[in-house]
Amino acid sequence: MYIMVAGPYSAPTEKERRENLERINRAAAEVAKKGHIPVVGVNAALPVVLAGDFEDDYAELMRISMALADRSDAILILGKSKGTDMEKSVFERKGLKVYTDIDEIPQNYGPN
């Protein structure tokens, strides 16, 4: 499965944002160890946003992240934020699996 890993990223300081991103990426590594393909919206969007001159950086980040959510099979939620709530709603609307703990995700022994 393609499993989106979503958690709070935005924070008041650069240090907190870096810690949030590290937490998301560690969880994504655990998803990969279970044999799934982790999808991290902020990892796809952040380099684009930082390189561009967008009118609204957050809106662009979420546009990219939501497009990835729409194409993923499940989501692992690491915490509550406006962005994670938006991403989660995609999966709920489609009736897809919403995980809140890495241990809920089954091991994948076959090809994705």
Give the fold, CATH level 3, of 2-102.
Rossmann fold (3.40.50)
Distance in angstroms (rounded) separating the CA atoms of residues 16 and 51: 21
In this predicted structure, what is the pLDDT of residue 86? 96
Tens digit of pLDDT at every position of the chain (112 positions)? 999 999 999 899 999 999 999 999 999 999 999 999 999 999 999 999 999 999 999 999 999 999 999 999 999 999 999 999 999 999 999 999 999 999 999 999 876 5
3-state SS assignment for residue 104:
helix
Query: For the chain, how many helices (H) and strands (E)?
Result: 4, 4
Question: pTM for this structure?
Answer: 0.93
In this predicted structure, what is the pLDDT of residue 112? 56
Number of CB atoms found within 10 A of residue 23's CB: 16
